[in-house]
Amino acid sequence: MHVRLAKSFTFEAAHFLPTFPDGHKCRRMHGHSFRVEVVVEGDIEPDKGYLVDYGEIKAAIAPIRDALDHRLLNEIGGIENPTSEMVAVWIWKKLEEKLPLLSEIIVYETCTSRCHYRGD
């Protein structure tokens, strides 16, 4: 049986988008209440009855959340241009070795705006 599991986390952070045109509101520093979904996918082993322990996903996420929460994202190495797209890629790179079944990162920048990243 093939399944997809998702574990969410939130963080509060400020950023500005340096590649946006002068005068654009996103070029100014501002903040968001971000929500991220980490999705793993695969086939359930019949003898186990589950794909991945949610606790494993939570443990893999914890240092990433700590690195992002209440920060200026532009100051974090690797996401100096912290668009939702670049944040999703950065999170993927941090998780891909810890979660071999990683299939998607979804970054919600607002309630109505999000980015889906499924790796290269």
- List the catalytic residue out of 41, 56, 104, 109: 109
Total number of residues shown for the chain: 120
Residue 10 bridge partners (DSSP):
35
Helix (H, G, I), strand (E, B) or coil at 62: helix
Is 70 in the active site? yes
Is 109 in the active site? yes
For 35, half-sphere exposure in the C-beta direction (CA atoms, 13 angstrom radius) is: 10
- List the catalytic residue out of 70, 75, 80, 85: 70
Segment holding 14, helix H or strand E: strand 2-15
- List the catalytic residue out of 26, 41, 56, 104: 26
Catalytic residues: 26, 70, 109
